[in-house]
Amino acid sequence: MDEIDAMLQLARDQHVSDIYLLPKAEQLEIQFRYPDQVKRHLVLPLEVGQRWINYLKYRAGMNVAEHRRVQLGAYFDSVSAVFMRLSSVADYQQHESLVIRLINGIPQPNQETRVALTQVTQILEQRGLLTISGPTGSGKTTFLYQLAQQLQQSRMVMTIEDPVEIAESRFLQLQVNPEAQMTYAALLKAALRHRPDVVVIGEIRDRETAQMACEAAISGHIVLATVHARSVQDVPMRLISLGVDADLVHAALIATVAIELKYEPEITPQITILQF
């Protein structure tokens, strides 16, 4: 469908991170998420909007006949040259919504990011756990990949992600699949048998993953992970709250990075580094 291809190309050109297709009464509203705000892009009749959703679900290998349950899908759009991750679910009125995450390659770091990458790389010479935190859309994953890319020049890098967001041929990338018992913790245990120098964990979200990440860090690996915390100072408490022994956390954690976006005079990441 030409209209959908045009929308996806426009979203790519405008550096949109997410596209929302949301039912609103008898209409479907399409919104673009920019780094600093969400804007309405287009409003379609609900029937037309459902056809758009069905088309995108079909391209992503999702069940077009199922409109109520949560579904996940992904595909590479050759027209816009963007890899997309899709998620669909119905609201209480059984009207389906769809969210598209646009995943681009690893961008070149700007000057501020290059300085932060240099500082963090120097810190990681002592090996251990480094965490990255920040709001949604702040660039945590981008910074994580840029750092891993820099470390990869002289080290073997493995990633564990849910799902893989950026394909990088220089990494060995593993994807979480709970239905096949491939959890973060299970994949981390398997990954360590491959003797990587650097292990990248998409997100520490439970006690088992946090425990294994800390144990891998004190055994001589560089472990990079994102974690939800309000500030760099709160990361140790966050890991302890997940159930990891405080002594293990303090032994494993060598630094934390927090990323936020500044919007003026231009959009740039503001990076805070705390070394322990």
Tens digits of per-residue pLDDT, 210-243? 999 999 999 999 999 999 998 899 999 999 999 9
CATH topology for 111-275 is: Rossmann fold (3.40.50)
List phi, psi (to 5°) of 65. -80, -15
Q: Tell me, rounded to whole angstroms, the distance of Cα 168 from its chain centroid.
A: 14
For the chain, how big is the Rg over CA atoms in Å?
20
User: Among 8-17, 72-81, 142-151, 196-205, where is mean pLDDT lowest?
Assistant: 72-81
Say what percent of the chain tops pLDDT 70.
100
Quote the pTM value: 0.80
Query: Cα(first)–Cα(last) distance of the chain, in Å?
Result: 53
Q: For residues 157 and 196, is the Cβ–Cβ distance under 8 A?
A: yes
Residue written as token pair 């959908």: 4
pLDDT digits (tens, 9 = 90+) for 98-148: 999 998 778 888 888 999 999 999 999 999 999 999 887 788 888 999 999
Please give the pLDDT value at position 230: 87
The torsion of the CA quartet 6, 269, 139, 226, rounded to 10 degrees, works out to -170
Each domain of the chain, given as residue ranges in start order, spans 2-103, 111-275
Domain 2-103 has CATH 3.30.450.90: yes
Residue partners of 111: CB distance under 8 A and separation at least 6: none
> Burial, 214: exposed, middle or buried (Cβ in 10 Å; 0-12, 13-18, 19+)?
buried
DSSP strand pairing (128-133 vs 253-262): parallel
Give the Cα separation of 248 and 80 in Å (integer). 46
Does residue 163 carry a pLDDT above 80?
no
pLDDT digits (tens, 9 = 90+) for 38-63: 999 999 999 999 999 999 999 999 99
Please give the pLDDT value at position 189: 87
**Helix, strand, coil percentages in the chain from 3-state DSSP, rounded to 5:** 35, 35, 35
pLDDT: which is higher, 193 or 29: 29
